[in-house]
Structure 1
Amino acid sequence: MTLSLEDIAWHRSVGQLIDALDRPNFWTLLVRQLEQYLGFDSWVALLFSNEQAPRVFAECPGADGSPDQLFQDYLKGLYLLDPFYLASREQPGTGLYHLAEVAPEDFEGTEYYQRYFRLNLVADEVHFNCQLDGERTLCLSLGARQRFTPSQLALLSLIQPWVVSLLRQRLAHEPLEQPGAGTPTPSGNWRSRLEDSLQRLKGTQLTARELEVGHLMLSGCSSKEIARKLQISAETVKVHKKHIYGKLGIKSQSELFSIFLQAQNA
Protein backbone atom coordinates (compact mmCIF):
# COMPACT_ATOMS: atom_id res chain seq x y z
CA MET A 1 0.00 0.00 0.00
CA THR A 2 1.33 3.41 -1.02
CA LEU A 3 0.49 6.50 1.02
CA SER A 4 -0.22 9.72 -0.84
CA LEU A 5 1.22 13.05 0.19
CA GLU A 6 -2.25 13.99 1.45
CA ASP A 7 -2.34 10.87 3.68
CA ILE A 8 1.08 11.67 5.10
CA ALA A 9 0.07 15.28 5.77
CA TRP A 10 -3.10 14.18 7.58
CA HIS A 11 -1.32 11.69 9.83
CA ARG A 12 1.36 14.26 10.60
CA SER A 13 -1.28 16.80 11.59
CA VAL A 14 -3.04 14.27 13.83
CA GLY A 15 0.25 13.68 15.62
CA GLN A 16 0.64 17.42 16.16
CA LEU A 17 -2.90 17.65 17.53
CA ILE A 18 -2.19 14.82 19.97
CA ASP A 19 0.83 16.77 21.21
CA ALA A 20 -1.40 19.84 21.65
CA LEU A 21 -4.18 18.11 23.63
CA ASP A 22 -3.21 19.86 26.86
CA ARG A 23 -2.66 23.30 25.32
CA PRO A 24 -5.09 26.25 25.47
CA ASN A 25 -5.06 26.60 21.68
CA PHE A 26 -6.04 22.98 20.99
CA TRP A 27 -9.50 23.82 19.60
CA THR A 28 -8.12 26.49 17.29
CA LEU A 29 -5.48 24.11 15.96
CA LEU A 30 -8.09 21.40 15.37
CA VAL A 31 -10.40 23.78 13.52
CA ARG A 32 -7.55 25.11 11.38
CA GLN A 33 -6.68 21.57 10.40
CA LEU A 34 -10.28 20.84 9.40
CA GLU A 35 -10.31 24.03 7.35
CA GLN A 36 -7.62 22.50 5.16
CA TYR A 37 -10.18 19.98 3.92
CA LEU A 38 -13.47 21.87 3.72
CA GLY A 39 -14.92 25.33 4.09
CA PHE A 40 -17.13 26.40 7.00
CA ASP A 41 -18.03 29.74 8.54
CA SER A 42 -18.53 29.13 12.25
CA TRP A 43 -17.65 26.59 14.91
CA VAL A 44 -18.16 25.90 18.59
CA ALA A 45 -17.02 23.16 20.98
CA LEU A 46 -19.58 22.46 23.67
CA LEU A 47 -20.84 19.88 26.12
CA PHE A 48 -24.48 18.78 26.10
CA SER A 49 -25.89 17.26 29.28
CA ASN A 50 -29.26 16.46 30.85
CA GLU A 51 -28.93 18.60 33.95
CA GLN A 52 -27.32 21.83 32.71
CA ALA A 53 -27.34 24.30 29.87
CA PRO A 54 -24.70 23.59 27.21
CA ARG A 55 -21.19 24.28 28.44
CA VAL A 56 -19.00 26.11 25.91
CA PHE A 57 -15.32 25.18 25.75
CA ALA A 58 -14.36 27.31 22.74
CA GLU A 59 -15.99 29.13 19.84
CA CYS A 60 -15.03 31.09 16.76
CA PRO A 61 -14.45 34.79 17.46
CA GLY A 62 -17.09 37.30 16.42
CA ALA A 63 -16.45 39.87 13.73
CA ASP A 64 -15.84 42.62 16.30
CA GLY A 65 -14.75 40.41 19.18
CA SER A 66 -17.90 41.11 21.22
CA PRO A 67 -20.22 38.37 22.56
CA ASP A 68 -22.73 37.04 20.04
CA GLN A 69 -26.15 37.99 21.46
CA LEU A 70 -27.90 35.33 19.40
CA PHE A 71 -25.62 32.69 20.87
CA GLN A 72 -26.29 34.03 24.37
CA ASP A 73 -30.01 33.57 23.69
CA TYR A 74 -29.21 30.04 22.61
CA LEU A 75 -27.47 29.31 25.91
CA LYS A 76 -30.32 30.84 27.91
CA GLY A 77 -32.85 28.40 26.54
CA LEU A 78 -33.10 28.24 22.75
CA TYR A 79 -30.88 25.15 22.85
CA LEU A 80 -33.98 23.27 24.05
CA LEU A 81 -35.23 23.55 20.44
CA ASP A 82 -31.89 22.74 18.76
CA PRO A 83 -32.33 19.55 16.69
CA PHE A 84 -28.75 18.49 17.50
CA TYR A 85 -29.32 18.94 21.24
CA LEU A 86 -32.64 17.09 21.13
CA ALA A 87 -31.17 14.24 19.07
CA SER A 88 -28.28 13.88 21.51
CA ARG A 89 -30.74 13.65 24.42
CA GLU A 90 -33.24 11.31 22.77
CA GLN A 91 -30.81 9.03 20.95
CA PRO A 92 -27.30 9.49 22.41
CA GLY A 93 -24.48 8.34 20.19
CA THR A 94 -20.98 8.91 18.85
CA GLY A 95 -20.26 9.88 15.27
CA LEU A 96 -20.85 12.50 12.59
CA TYR A 97 -24.34 14.03 12.46
CA HIS A 98 -25.70 16.20 9.67
CA LEU A 99 -28.58 18.67 10.02
CA ALA A 100 -30.60 16.83 7.39
CA GLU A 101 -30.41 13.68 9.52
CA VAL A 102 -31.59 15.18 12.81
CA ALA A 103 -33.93 18.06 11.85
CA PRO A 104 -37.70 17.45 11.89
CA GLU A 105 -39.71 17.75 8.68
CA ASP A 106 -40.89 21.33 9.29
CA PHE A 107 -37.69 22.62 10.92
CA GLU A 108 -37.15 25.39 8.35
CA GLY A 109 -40.65 26.68 9.05
CA THR A 110 -40.10 27.08 12.78
CA GLU A 111 -39.57 30.38 14.55
CA TYR A 112 -36.36 28.90 15.97
CA TYR A 113 -35.03 28.45 12.44
CA GLN A 114 -36.16 31.89 11.27
CA ARG A 115 -35.08 33.88 14.35
CA TYR A 116 -31.92 32.04 15.34
CA PHE A 117 -30.57 29.34 13.05
CA ARG A 118 -30.94 31.16 9.74
CA LEU A 119 -29.38 34.32 11.17
CA ASN A 120 -26.58 32.62 13.06
CA LEU A 121 -25.61 29.65 10.87
CA VAL A 122 -27.51 30.52 7.69
CA ALA A 123 -27.63 27.23 5.81
CA ASP A 124 -26.11 24.03 7.19
CA GLU A 125 -24.46 22.40 10.20
CA VAL A 126 -22.66 19.20 11.14
CA HIS A 127 -21.62 17.84 14.53
CA PHE A 128 -18.81 15.56 15.59
CA ASN A 129 -20.36 13.94 18.68
CA CYS A 130 -18.43 12.03 21.32
CA GLN A 131 -20.77 10.29 23.77
CA LEU A 132 -19.08 10.33 27.18
CA ASP A 133 -21.73 8.55 29.23
CA GLY A 134 -25.50 8.26 29.35
CA GLU A 135 -26.02 11.97 30.02
CA ARG A 136 -23.12 13.90 28.45
CA THR A 137 -22.11 14.48 24.84
CA LEU A 138 -19.03 16.45 23.78
CA CYS A 139 -19.64 18.13 20.42
CA LEU A 140 -17.73 20.06 17.80
CA SER A 141 -20.20 21.97 15.63
CA LEU A 142 -19.31 23.33 12.18
CA GLY A 143 -21.71 25.80 10.55
CA ALA A 144 -21.72 26.93 6.93
CA ARG A 145 -23.45 29.52 4.78
CA GLN A 146 -23.78 26.94 2.02
CA ARG A 147 -24.99 23.35 2.08
CA PHE A 148 -22.26 20.81 2.66
CA THR A 149 -21.77 18.72 -0.47
CA PRO A 150 -21.96 14.91 -0.51
CA SER A 151 -18.20 14.73 -1.08
CA GLN A 152 -17.55 17.00 1.91
CA LEU A 153 -19.81 14.89 4.12
CA ALA A 154 -18.06 11.74 2.91
CA LEU A 155 -14.69 13.25 3.82
CA LEU A 156 -15.95 14.24 7.27
CA SER A 157 -17.22 10.69 7.78
CA LEU A 158 -13.81 9.36 6.82
CA ILE A 159 -11.93 11.44 9.39
CA GLN A 160 -14.65 11.19 12.05
CA PRO A 161 -12.91 8.44 14.11
CA TRP A 162 -9.77 10.59 14.51
CA VAL A 163 -11.71 13.72 15.42
CA VAL A 164 -13.93 11.94 17.94
CA SER A 165 -10.92 10.30 19.57
CA LEU A 166 -9.24 13.70 19.91
CA LEU A 167 -12.41 15.13 21.46
CA ARG A 168 -12.55 12.33 24.01
CA GLN A 169 -8.92 12.80 25.00
CA ARG A 170 -9.25 16.59 25.17
CA LEU A 171 -11.98 16.50 27.84
CA ALA A 172 -9.43 15.56 30.53
CA HIS A 173 -7.71 18.90 29.95
CA GLU A 174 -10.79 21.12 30.17
CA PRO A 175 -11.38 23.06 33.43
CA LEU A 176 -13.89 21.56 35.84
CA GLU A 177 -15.90 24.78 35.89
CA GLN A 178 -16.76 26.92 32.91
CA PRO A 179 -15.11 30.37 33.09
CA GLY A 180 -17.56 33.15 33.84
CA ALA A 181 -20.78 33.00 35.78
CA GLY A 182 -23.03 34.33 33.06
CA THR A 183 -24.08 31.05 31.49
CA PRO A 184 -27.17 29.73 33.25
CA THR A 185 -27.17 26.20 34.63
CA PRO A 186 -30.82 25.54 35.39
CA SER A 187 -31.85 22.70 37.66
CA GLY A 188 -34.01 19.81 36.57
CA ASN A 189 -33.75 17.70 33.47
CA TRP A 190 -34.12 19.13 29.99
CA ARG A 191 -37.68 17.90 29.50
CA SER A 192 -38.92 19.56 32.69
CA ARG A 193 -37.20 22.84 31.75
CA LEU A 194 -38.91 22.80 28.37
CA GLU A 195 -42.29 22.10 29.97
CA ASP A 196 -41.79 24.91 32.49
CA SER A 197 -41.05 27.31 29.65
CA LEU A 198 -44.44 26.69 28.06
CA GLN A 199 -46.37 27.37 31.25
CA ARG A 200 -44.29 29.80 33.30
CA LEU A 201 -45.64 33.09 31.98
CA LYS A 202 -49.24 32.12 31.36
CA GLY A 203 -49.74 30.13 34.57
CA THR A 204 -51.86 27.69 32.60
CA GLN A 205 -51.79 23.99 33.35
CA LEU A 206 -51.27 22.11 30.12
CA THR A 207 -51.57 18.34 30.30
CA ALA A 208 -48.49 16.16 29.93
CA ARG A 209 -49.57 15.18 26.41
CA GLU A 210 -50.22 18.82 25.44
CA LEU A 211 -46.72 19.70 26.64
CA GLU A 212 -45.29 16.93 24.47
CA VAL A 213 -47.22 18.17 21.46
CA GLY A 214 -46.21 21.78 22.12
CA HIS A 215 -42.54 20.81 22.35
CA LEU A 216 -42.66 18.84 19.11
CA MET A 217 -44.45 21.72 17.36
CA LEU A 218 -41.80 24.21 18.43
CA SER A 219 -38.96 21.90 17.36
CA GLY A 220 -40.42 21.59 13.85
CA CYS A 221 -42.26 18.29 13.80
CA SER A 222 -45.16 18.09 11.37
CA SER A 223 -48.52 16.81 12.56
CA LYS A 224 -47.74 13.44 10.95
CA GLU A 225 -44.38 13.29 12.75
CA ILE A 226 -46.02 14.17 16.07
CA ALA A 227 -48.64 11.48 15.54
CA ARG A 228 -45.96 8.93 14.70
CA LYS A 229 -43.71 9.83 17.63
CA LEU A 230 -46.55 9.82 20.17
CA GLN A 231 -48.40 6.91 18.54
CA ILE A 232 -51.66 8.84 18.25
CA SER A 233 -53.80 9.84 15.28
CA ALA A 234 -53.32 13.03 13.28
CA GLU A 235 -56.82 14.11 14.35
CA THR A 236 -55.85 13.75 18.01
CA VAL A 237 -52.80 15.95 17.34
CA LYS A 238 -55.11 18.64 15.94
CA VAL A 239 -57.27 18.44 19.07
CA HIS A 240 -54.22 18.85 21.31
CA LYS A 241 -53.06 21.86 19.29
CA LYS A 242 -56.49 23.44 19.63
CA HIS A 243 -56.43 22.93 23.39
CA ILE A 244 -52.91 24.38 23.67
CA TYR A 245 -53.85 27.51 21.75
CA GLY A 246 -57.09 27.89 23.71
CA LYS A 247 -55.48 27.52 27.13
CA LEU A 248 -52.64 29.91 26.28
CA GLY A 249 -54.92 32.40 24.51
CA ILE A 250 -52.93 32.34 21.27
CA LYS A 251 -53.65 31.67 17.61
CA SER A 252 -50.34 30.65 16.05
CA GLN A 253 -47.10 28.76 16.53
CA SER A 254 -45.31 32.11 16.33
CA GLU A 255 -47.14 33.23 19.48
CA LEU A 256 -46.30 29.92 21.15
CA PHE A 257 -42.63 30.52 20.39
CA SER A 258 -42.89 34.05 21.82
CA ILE A 259 -44.20 32.60 25.10
CA PHE A 260 -41.29 30.17 25.13
CA LEU A 261 -38.77 32.93 24.34
CA GLN A 262 -40.13 35.32 26.98
CA ALA A 263 -39.95 32.57 29.58
CA GLN A 264 -36.21 32.16 28.98
CA ASN A 265 -35.67 35.82 29.91
CA ALA A 266 -38.13 35.92 32.81
Structure 2
Amino acid sequence: MAITLQDIAWHRTIGNLIEALDAPNFWIALVRQLEHYLPFDSWVILLFSAGRPLVFAESPTEDGGPDPLFQDYLQGLYLLDPFYIASREHPRSGLFRLDDVAPEYFEQTDYFQRYFRLNVVADEVQLNCNLDSERTLCLSLGSRQRFTLEQMGILSLIQSWVMALMRQRLAFEQERSTPPAPPWQQQFEATSQRSDTALTARELEVGRLMLSGCSGKEIARKLDISVETVKVHRKHMYAKLGIKSQSELFAIFLQAQQQT
Protein backbone atom coordinates (compact mmCIF):
# COMPACT_ATOMS: atom_id res chain seq x y z
CA MET A 1 0.00 0.00 0.00
CA ALA A 2 1.40 3.38 -1.04
CA ILE A 3 1.93 6.00 1.68
CA THR A 4 0.92 9.53 0.69
CA LEU A 5 2.30 12.85 1.88
CA GLN A 6 -0.97 13.35 3.79
CA ASP A 7 -0.36 10.07 5.65
CA ILE A 8 3.13 11.22 6.59
CA ALA A 9 1.82 14.59 7.78
CA TRP A 10 -0.90 12.93 9.87
CA HIS A 11 1.57 10.57 11.58
CA ARG A 12 3.90 13.49 12.27
CA THR A 13 1.01 15.47 13.78
CA ILE A 14 0.00 12.66 16.13
CA GLY A 15 3.62 12.05 17.10
CA ASN A 16 4.20 15.70 17.93
CA LEU A 17 1.03 15.87 20.04
CA ILE A 18 1.91 12.73 21.97
CA GLU A 19 5.38 14.18 22.58
CA ALA A 20 3.76 17.38 23.92
CA LEU A 21 1.29 15.67 26.26
CA ASP A 22 3.19 16.78 29.37
CA ALA A 23 4.10 20.22 28.02
CA PRO A 24 2.46 23.43 29.29
CA ASN A 25 1.43 24.38 25.74
CA PHE A 26 -0.28 21.08 24.90
CA TRP A 27 -3.79 22.51 24.53
CA ILE A 28 -2.59 25.27 22.22
CA ALA A 29 -0.69 22.71 20.14
CA LEU A 30 -3.82 20.57 19.88
CA VAL A 31 -5.97 23.53 18.83
CA ARG A 32 -3.44 24.61 16.22
CA GLN A 33 -3.54 21.13 14.69
CA LEU A 34 -7.34 21.23 14.62
CA GLU A 35 -7.13 24.52 12.69
CA HIS A 36 -5.63 22.52 9.81
CA TYR A 37 -8.87 20.55 9.56
CA LEU A 38 -11.55 23.22 9.98
CA PRO A 39 -11.91 26.96 10.74
CA PHE A 40 -13.21 28.26 14.07
CA ASP A 41 -13.09 31.57 15.91
CA SER A 42 -12.95 30.66 19.59
CA TRP A 43 -12.13 27.66 21.74
CA VAL A 44 -12.04 26.55 25.35
CA ILE A 45 -11.13 23.37 27.20
CA LEU A 46 -13.05 22.88 30.43
CA LEU A 47 -14.26 20.30 32.88
CA PHE A 48 -17.98 20.08 33.60
CA SER A 49 -19.02 18.72 37.00
CA ALA A 50 -21.49 19.46 39.78
CA GLY A 51 -19.61 22.67 40.58
CA ARG A 52 -18.50 25.57 38.44
CA PRO A 53 -16.70 24.60 35.22
CA LEU A 54 -12.95 24.25 35.60
CA VAL A 55 -11.08 25.93 32.70
CA PHE A 56 -7.79 24.39 31.52
CA ALA A 57 -7.18 26.70 28.52
CA GLU A 58 -9.07 29.18 26.37
CA SER A 59 -8.57 31.32 23.30
CA PRO A 60 -7.00 34.68 24.16
CA THR A 61 -8.80 37.98 23.65
CA GLU A 62 -7.39 40.63 21.31
CA ASP A 63 -5.91 42.60 24.22
CA GLY A 64 -4.75 39.48 26.03
CA GLY A 65 -7.00 40.10 29.03
CA PRO A 66 -9.84 38.00 30.42
CA ASP A 67 -13.07 37.93 28.44
CA PRO A 68 -15.72 39.62 30.65
CA LEU A 69 -18.53 37.71 28.92
CA PHE A 70 -16.80 34.41 29.61
CA GLN A 71 -16.30 35.43 33.23
CA ASP A 72 -20.07 35.94 33.47
CA TYR A 73 -20.45 32.43 32.07
CA LEU A 74 -18.19 30.96 34.76
CA GLN A 75 -19.94 32.97 37.48
CA GLY A 76 -23.27 31.31 36.84
CA LEU A 77 -24.53 31.64 33.27
CA TYR A 78 -23.19 28.14 32.58
CA LEU A 79 -26.30 26.90 34.41
CA LEU A 80 -28.24 27.96 31.29
CA ASP A 81 -25.75 26.50 28.79
CA PRO A 82 -27.34 23.70 26.70
CA PHE A 83 -24.01 21.82 26.59
CA TYR A 84 -23.61 21.99 30.37
CA ILE A 85 -27.21 20.92 30.96
CA ALA A 86 -26.86 18.01 28.51
CA SER A 87 -23.62 16.85 30.17
CA ARG A 88 -25.36 16.76 33.56
CA GLU A 89 -28.60 15.15 32.39
CA HIS A 90 -27.12 12.64 29.93
CA PRO A 91 -23.35 12.36 30.45
CA ARG A 92 -21.73 10.65 27.46
CA SER A 93 -18.73 10.92 25.19
CA GLY A 94 -18.83 12.04 21.58
CA LEU A 95 -19.17 14.95 19.18
CA PHE A 96 -22.12 17.23 19.83
CA ARG A 97 -23.40 20.26 17.95
CA LEU A 98 -25.48 23.07 19.40
CA ASP A 99 -28.47 21.85 17.40
CA ASP A 100 -28.18 18.47 19.16
CA VAL A 101 -28.58 19.89 22.66
CA ALA A 102 -30.32 23.28 22.40
CA PRO A 103 -33.91 23.38 23.69
CA GLU A 104 -36.81 24.48 21.51
CA TYR A 105 -36.79 28.20 22.36
CA PHE A 106 -33.04 28.64 22.96
CA GLU A 107 -32.57 31.39 20.36
CA GLN A 108 -35.41 33.39 21.91
CA THR A 109 -33.86 33.48 25.38
CA ASP A 110 -32.12 36.46 26.94
CA TYR A 111 -29.15 34.16 27.52
CA PHE A 112 -28.81 33.61 23.77
CA GLN A 113 -29.39 37.27 22.85
CA ARG A 114 -27.22 38.83 25.55
CA TYR A 115 -24.44 36.26 25.87
CA PHE A 116 -24.29 33.44 23.35
CA ARG A 117 -24.62 35.33 20.06
CA LEU A 118 -22.11 37.94 21.29
CA ASN A 119 -19.56 35.48 22.64
CA VAL A 120 -19.93 32.42 20.40
CA VAL A 121 -21.77 34.23 17.59
CA ALA A 122 -23.30 31.55 15.30
CA ASP A 123 -22.44 27.92 16.02
CA GLU A 124 -20.70 25.73 18.57
CA VAL A 125 -19.54 22.13 18.71
CA GLN A 126 -18.09 20.15 21.58
CA LEU A 127 -15.95 17.06 21.82
CA ASN A 128 -16.91 15.51 25.15
CA CYS A 129 -14.98 12.88 27.10
CA ASN A 130 -17.18 11.48 29.84
CA LEU A 131 -14.78 10.61 32.67
CA ASP A 132 -17.26 9.30 35.24
CA SER A 133 -20.78 9.94 36.48
CA GLU A 134 -19.84 13.44 37.64
CA ARG A 135 -17.18 14.78 35.25
CA THR A 136 -17.01 15.52 31.52
CA LEU A 137 -13.90 16.91 29.83
CA CYS A 138 -14.91 19.19 26.95
CA LEU A 139 -13.22 20.83 23.98
CA SER A 140 -15.55 23.54 22.69
CA LEU A 141 -15.17 25.26 19.31
CA GLY A 142 -17.16 28.39 18.45
CA SER A 143 -17.64 29.88 14.99
CA ARG A 144 -19.03 33.05 13.44
CA GLN A 145 -20.36 30.84 10.64
CA ARG A 146 -22.40 27.65 10.74
CA PHE A 147 -20.19 24.58 10.59
CA THR A 148 -20.79 22.82 7.28
CA LEU A 149 -21.70 19.16 6.86
CA GLU A 150 -18.24 18.55 5.45
CA GLN A 151 -16.58 20.15 8.48
CA MET A 152 -18.75 18.12 10.84
CA GLY A 153 -17.79 15.02 8.87
CA ILE A 154 -14.10 15.80 9.32
CA LEU A 155 -14.60 16.31 13.05
CA SER A 156 -16.42 12.98 13.26
CA LEU A 157 -13.50 11.33 11.49
CA ILE A 158 -10.78 12.73 13.75
CA GLN A 159 -12.67 12.77 17.05
CA SER A 160 -11.33 9.40 18.21
CA TRP A 161 -7.67 10.49 18.33
CA VAL A 162 -8.51 13.98 19.61
CA MET A 163 -10.53 12.59 22.51
CA ALA A 164 -7.86 9.97 23.26
CA LEU A 165 -5.26 12.72 23.57
CA MET A 166 -7.60 14.78 25.75
CA ARG A 167 -7.99 11.88 28.17
CA GLN A 168 -4.24 11.26 28.30
CA ARG A 169 -3.53 14.93 28.89
CA LEU A 170 -5.71 15.00 31.99
CA ALA A 171 -3.06 13.01 33.88
CA PHE A 172 -0.62 15.91 33.43
CA GLU A 173 -2.97 18.67 34.55
CA GLN A 174 -2.19 20.08 37.96
CA GLU A 175 -4.71 18.74 40.42
CA ARG A 176 -7.20 21.47 41.19
CA SER A 177 -10.40 21.28 43.13
CA THR A 178 -13.55 22.12 41.21
CA PRO A 179 -14.92 25.51 42.32
CA PRO A 180 -18.14 25.04 44.27
CA ALA A 181 -21.39 25.78 42.53
CA PRO A 182 -22.72 29.24 43.39
CA PRO A 183 -25.61 29.31 45.85
CA TRP A 184 -27.72 30.75 43.05
CA GLN A 185 -31.00 29.64 44.55
CA GLN A 186 -30.49 31.70 47.70
CA GLN A 187 -29.00 34.64 45.80
CA PHE A 188 -31.81 34.44 43.28
CA GLU A 189 -34.36 35.04 46.01
CA ALA A 190 -32.29 37.56 47.96
CA THR A 191 -31.66 39.70 44.88
CA SER A 192 -35.36 40.17 44.24
CA GLN A 193 -36.19 41.68 47.64
CA ARG A 194 -39.82 41.33 46.62
CA SER A 195 -40.64 37.81 47.69
CA ASP A 196 -42.46 37.39 50.99
CA THR A 197 -42.69 33.64 50.40
CA ALA A 198 -39.62 31.59 49.48
CA LEU A 199 -39.58 29.93 46.09
CA THR A 200 -39.85 26.17 46.17
CA ALA A 201 -37.13 23.93 44.72
CA ARG A 202 -39.48 22.97 41.89
CA GLU A 203 -40.27 26.61 41.07
CA LEU A 204 -36.55 27.37 40.93
CA GLU A 205 -35.95 24.44 38.59
CA VAL A 206 -38.83 25.46 36.33
CA GLY A 207 -37.42 29.00 36.24
CA ARG A 208 -33.92 27.82 35.30
CA LEU A 209 -35.26 25.59 32.53
CA MET A 210 -37.39 28.43 31.21
CA LEU A 211 -34.35 30.70 31.07
CA SER A 212 -32.37 28.02 29.21
CA GLY A 213 -35.01 27.99 26.45
CA CYS A 214 -37.10 24.96 27.29
CA SER A 215 -40.73 24.99 26.21
CA GLY A 216 -43.50 24.04 28.63
CA LYS A 217 -43.59 20.55 27.11
CA GLU A 218 -39.82 20.12 27.48
CA ILE A 219 -39.93 21.23 31.12
CA ALA A 220 -42.83 18.87 31.81
CA ARG A 221 -40.92 15.97 30.26
CA LYS A 222 -37.69 16.72 32.12
CA LEU A 223 -39.43 17.08 35.50
CA ASP A 224 -42.04 14.38 34.89
CA ILE A 225 -44.97 16.72 35.54
CA SER A 226 -47.83 18.00 33.40
CA VAL A 227 -47.68 21.11 31.23
CA GLU A 228 -50.45 22.61 33.35
CA THR A 229 -48.36 22.09 36.48
CA VAL A 230 -45.47 23.89 34.78
CA LYS A 231 -47.77 26.85 34.12
CA VAL A 232 -48.87 26.87 37.77
CA HIS A 233 -45.25 26.89 38.97
CA ARG A 234 -44.44 29.74 36.59
CA LYS A 235 -47.45 31.75 37.75
CA HIS A 236 -46.57 31.29 41.43
CA MET A 237 -42.90 32.16 40.80
CA TYR A 238 -43.76 35.36 38.94
CA ALA A 239 -46.19 36.37 41.68
CA LYS A 240 -43.65 35.76 44.46
CA LEU A 241 -40.95 37.71 42.63
CA GLY A 242 -43.30 40.51 41.58
CA ILE A 243 -42.45 40.20 37.89
CA LYS A 244 -44.41 39.71 34.68
CA SER A 245 -41.91 38.54 32.06
CA GLN A 246 -39.08 36.13 31.39
CA SER A 247 -36.75 39.06 30.71
CA GLU A 248 -37.34 40.29 34.26
CA LEU A 249 -36.65 36.77 35.51
CA PHE A 250 -33.34 36.71 33.61
CA ALA A 251 -32.37 40.10 35.02
CA ILE A 252 -32.83 38.76 38.56
CA PHE A 253 -30.90 35.60 37.69
CA LEU A 254 -28.02 37.59 36.17
CA GLN A 255 -27.82 39.96 39.12
CA ALA A 256 -27.79 37.00 41.48
CA GLN A 257 -24.78 35.46 39.70
CA GLN A 258 -22.85 38.72 39.86
CA GLN A 259 -23.24 38.76 43.64
CA THR A 260 -21.83 35.24 44.22
The verdict on a shared fold, with TM-score over 0.5 as the criterion, is yes
For 2:10, give the aligned amino acid: W
> What is the aligned partner in structure 2 of residue 126 from structure 1?
125
> What is the aligned partner in structure 2 of residue 227 from structure 1?
220
SS of the equivalent of 2:171 reads helix
- Structure 2 CA distance, aligned partners of 1:194 and 1:90? 19
> What is the aligned partner in structure 2 of residue 244 from structure 1?
237
- Structure 2 CA distance, aligned partners of 1:48 and 1:127? 12
Instruction: Determine which of 245, 261, 264 is the counterpart of 2:257.
Output: 264
For 1:57, give the aligned amino acid: F
- Structure 2 CA distance, aligned partners of 1:249 and 1:5? 66
- Structure 2 CA distance, aligned partners of 1:133 and 1:149? 31
Contact 2:189 2:199 in 1 (8 A): yes
C-alpha distance after superposition, 1:207-243 (max 9, x if no partner)? 2321221111011101121122223332222222111
C-alpha distance after superposition, 1:89-109 (max 9, x if no partner)? 111111111110011111111
Alpha-carbon shift at residue 36 of structure 1 (Å): 0.4
Contact 1:198 1:260 in 2 (8 A): yes
SS of the equivalent of 1:173 reads coil
> What is the aligned partner in structure 2 of residue 17 from structure 1?
17
Any unmatched runs of 5+ in structure 1?
A: 179-183
- Structure 2 CA distance, aligned partners of 1:246 and 1:60? 42
Q: Which moved more, 1:204-213 or 1:149-158?
A: 204-213
**Match status 1:198 vs 2:188:** yes
> What is the aligned partner in structure 1 of residue 170 from structure 2?
171
Alpha-carbon shift at residue 265 of structure 1 (Å): 1.6
SS of the equivalent of 1:128 reads strand
Q: Residues 64, 83 of structure 1: CA spacing in aligned structure 2 closer, same or farther, 3 A cutoff?
A: same
Contact 1:194 1:215 in 2 (8 A): no
Instruction: Determine which of 205, 208, 221 is the counterpart of 2:201.
Output: 208
SS of the equivalent of 2:191 reads coil
> What is the aligned partner in structure 1 of residue 72 from structure 2?
73
Q: Residues 10, 196 of structure 1: CA spacing in aligned structure 2 closer, same or farther, 3 A cutoff?
A: farther
- Structure 1 CA distance, aligned partners of 2:237 and 2:56? 38
Contact 1:96 1:126 in 2 (8 A): yes
Contact 2:128 2:136 in 1 (8 A): yes
TM-score by length of 1: 0.90
> What is the aligned partner in structure 2 of residue 93 from structure 1?
92
- Structure 1 CA distance, aligned partners of 2:147 and 2:186? 36
Q: Residues 99, 197 of structure 1: CA spacing in aligned structure 2 closer, same or farther, 3 A cutoff?
A: farther
Alpha-carbon shift at residue 194 of structure 1 (Å): 4.7
- Structure 1 CA distance, aligned partners of 2:187 and 2:154? 39
- Structure 2 CA distance, aligned partners of 1:99 and 1:8? 34
Contact 2:52 2:181 in 1 (8 A): no
The CA RMSD over aligned residues, in Å, is 1.8
- Structure 2 CA distance, aligned partners of 1:198 and 1:110? 18
Runs of 4+ in structure 1 over 4 Å off: 1-4
Identity %: 68
SS of the equivalent of 2:95 reads strand
For 1:43, give the aligned amino acid: W
Any unmatched runs of 5+ in structure 2?
A: none
Alpha-carbon shift at residue 34 of structure 1 (Å): 0.5
TM-score by length of 2: 0.92
